[in-house]
Chain A
Amino acid sequence: MSILSYGGEIMKESYIRLIQYLLAAVIVVAIAFHLQLFSSLIGPGYIKAQTWEEVASRMDNPFYDGVYAVLLFTVLTHAFIGVRNVLFEFITSRVGRVVTSWTLFIIYVIILLLGIAEIVASAS
């Protein structure tokens, strides 16, 4: 909680950066599995991958459920930490940073829950 409470200024910023880099490393691998679907050279291709039949088959595939779960968590977390970093470059007041952090955190949780609901509904 101190990350949010203090706007990350006091002691946690280096940990956030480390988390950001670790997430990036996972994303590079996970996103390759996602993007290969849209290439007709190695996967079904952009048009076919978006047909309901293909979408439904991926929804029934536990491997893709896992890939999407990993992607959802890593990409969203990476994105929100990144946006927070950018916003902190021109929001310099302590109160502003705390408000920004909490606002982003709430949006992050909402989007994450929406994504989890989608993956759980697909898997069941």
Chain B
Amino acid sequence: MFAKRERKYKSTPNRLGVKGWYGSLKYNMEKYLYLLHRITGVGLAAFVILHVILMSSRMFGEEAYHQIHGLLMNPYTDIGMVIVTAALLFHGFNGIRLLLHEYGILFVRPKRPVYPYRVSVKSSGVRLFTILMIILAVLFFIPVLYEYIIIWW
């Protein structure tokens, strides 16, 4: 399978493109986190651009702000904001994990994968820290849900 892939991407070694995101998901949890980090990152980037454009209405005064704000006051926006906040929390906590891991803070630095491809993240408490980060993201999401439940109630 890998030989076929190597031939296909011979001109660009080690670059499977977007296919590489899901092509080896069967290996470990970190691959799923990697995929989610990419998806949430692109989604959040789109949101940030939209957010800056819409919020710039503030500089045109109260009326302009109310016009834009009025357009956004609907249940669909609320659901969208819940998804954006969940994506933000995931991206943030996973980002902290990546930063600490990559620079060897708290844990050993990741190694280049060599045969027989033992996954270094399974040792040294790295996996435990990953799970802790996920739990923290979920815990931080509770007050967010609480806020939206108040609105919807």
Residues of A whose CB lies within 8 Å of any CB of B are 21, 24-25, 27-28, 31, 38-41, 45-47, 50, 52, 55-56, 59, 72, 75-76, 79-80, 82-83, 86, 89-90, 92, 107, 111, 114-115, 117-118, 121-122
What separation, in Å, do the CA atoms of A80 and B146 have in the docked complex? 32
Residues of B whose CB lies within 8 Å of any CB of A are 11-12, 15-18, 20-21, 38, 41-42, 44-45, 48-49, 52-53, 55-56, 58-59, 62, 65-66, 69, 88, 92, 95-96, 99, 102-103, 143-144, 146-148, 150-151
Contacts of B49 in A (CB 8 A): 79, 107, 111
Contacts of B66 in A (CB 8 A): 52
CB < 8 Å A-B pair total: 86
Contacts of B55 in A (CB 8 A): 118
Contacts of B148 in A (CB 8 A): 46
| Structural contact, A39 and B56, CB atoms closer than 8 A | no
How many whole Å from B51's CB to the nearest CB in chain A?
9
What separation, in Å, do the CA atoms of A31 and B44 have in the docked complex? 13
What separation, in Å, do the CA atoms of A99 and B48 have in the docked complex? 22
| Structural contact, A21 and B102, CB atoms closer than 8 A | yes
Given contacts A25-B99, A39-B143, A114-B52, contact A89 B150 (CB under 8 A): no
What separation, in Å, do the CA atoms of A39 and B45 have in the docked complex? 23
Contacts of A111 in B (CB 8 A): 49, 52-53
| Structural contact, A122 and B11, CB atoms closer than 8 A | no
Contacts of A83 in B (CB 8 A): 41-42, 45
Contact of A52 among B18, B65, B102 (CB under 8 A): B65
How many whole Å from A24's CB to the nearest CB in chain B?
5
What separation, in Å, do the CA atoms of A76 and B18 have in the docked complex? 23
| Structural contact, B146 and A41, CB atoms closer than 8 A | yes
| Structural contact, A72 and B147, CB atoms closer than 8 A | no
